[in-house]
Amino acid sequence: MQLRPLPRTFNFDNEITPPAYNDHYLFAQQLKHPYECAECPSNIGLLMTASGSCNYYINSERNQLDRDKVFFISRGSTLAIKSVENEVTPVLLFFHSRLPDLVMFSMQYGGEVLLEKPFDTLPYDFSFLERMHVDPHLHETVVSLISLGSSCSSFASMETDAIIRGLFEDLVIRNDDAFKRSRNIQVAKASTRREIFKRISAARDWMEANYSRDINLENIASIASMNSQHFLRMFKQVYNITPHQYLIDLKLKKAKELLENNDLTINDICQSIGFESTFSFSVLFKGRFGLAPTHYRKA
C-alpha cells in the first residue's frame, strides 16, 4: 500500500479513465486550508474523514461525510472533493485494480467459501454498495491503516495488505447479499430496483445509528425520501420483516451486548436502548433469547 497526501487529481499515474492502480493507495492529509479536487473518474474505493466534515461529490451528487460514515464508490463513477473547513482530514482508500478479480476468484473456488456469482461478466458490479454506510468498525479499520502505511517495515506492509484484502472480501460478501436482497424488490427495471435498494439500505443504516431514539415510520421513511406506505412495503420485500420489527430486534441485540459486557442495571439498559417499559422489554427479550434479562446475565 502506498500512503500519499491529497493530490489535485486521482488520475496521476496514467491517462486511463477510470484509473488503473498497480497497488492500494491511501490518501490522507490534515488540511490547514481549503481543498478542492476537480471531478474525475474513480477506481473502486472508500471515502471518509478521520476528523472534521468533508464534501464528496459522487456523480455530481453531494455527500457530506463525518465521523463513522464511509462512502463506497464504484469503478467508473465520478468523484470530486471540496472542503472549506480547517482541521479536516479526508481519507480515501483506492484498491489495487486487480484485487476484485483476485478476491472473487479465491472466494468462488477456494473451497471453504463458495459464493453464487451474481454477475456474468467482468468487471463485477458493485453498484449495490455505492452509497453512504454508517459503519464505525469499517471507518476505524481504514483510519488505522494510516499509521501502518507510515512504517517502512516489511511486516507492516504485509499486515496492511492482509487487512485490505480481508476488508475487500467483506465488501464482496456484502455486495453479494445486497444483490440477492434487491431481487426481492418487485419492479421491472434494474435501475429502479437498485435505487430503491439504496434508499432502503440508507434508512436501515440510519435506524442502526439511531435505534435508541423515539422514532416512527414517518421518520425512517423520510430518510429514504419515500412516503411511509411505499417505504413499508419495500422494506418488507427487502428484509422480510417490517421496520418496526427490525427496530425492536436492533434494540434487543444491543441489550444482549450490554448485559454481557457491563454492570448496568436492567432499568438503565432498558432506558439506554429506548424502551419506556421494563416489563415489556423483559417480555420481548425473553421471547427473543429464551431467558429474562436478569436470568440471561446470570447465565
Whole-number pLDDT of residue 262: 83
CB atoms within 10 A of CB 73: 24
Report the alpha-carbon distance of residue 189 to residue 164 in Å, rounded.
34
Q: How many CB atoms lie within 10 A of CB 280?
A: 11
Cα(5)–Cα(171) distance, integer angstroms: 25
**Pairwise CA distance, residues 278 & 149, whole Å:** 48
Query: pLDDT at position 16, please?
Result: 58
How much is the pLDDT for 152?
67
At 120 the pLDDT is 42
pLDDT tens digits, 184-217: 998 888 889 889 999 999 999 999 888 888 889 9
> What pLDDT is attached to residue 118?
46
Strand partners, 64: 55
Residue numbers of the chain with a pLDDT score lower than 50? 111-115, 117-122
pTM value is 0.79
Q: Which of 34, 33, 61, 44 is nearest to 10 (CA)?
A: 44
pLDDT, position 252? 93
Give the Å distances, CA to CA, from 95 to 15, 23, 68, 163: 18, 7, 20, 12
Specify the pLDDT at position 13: 58
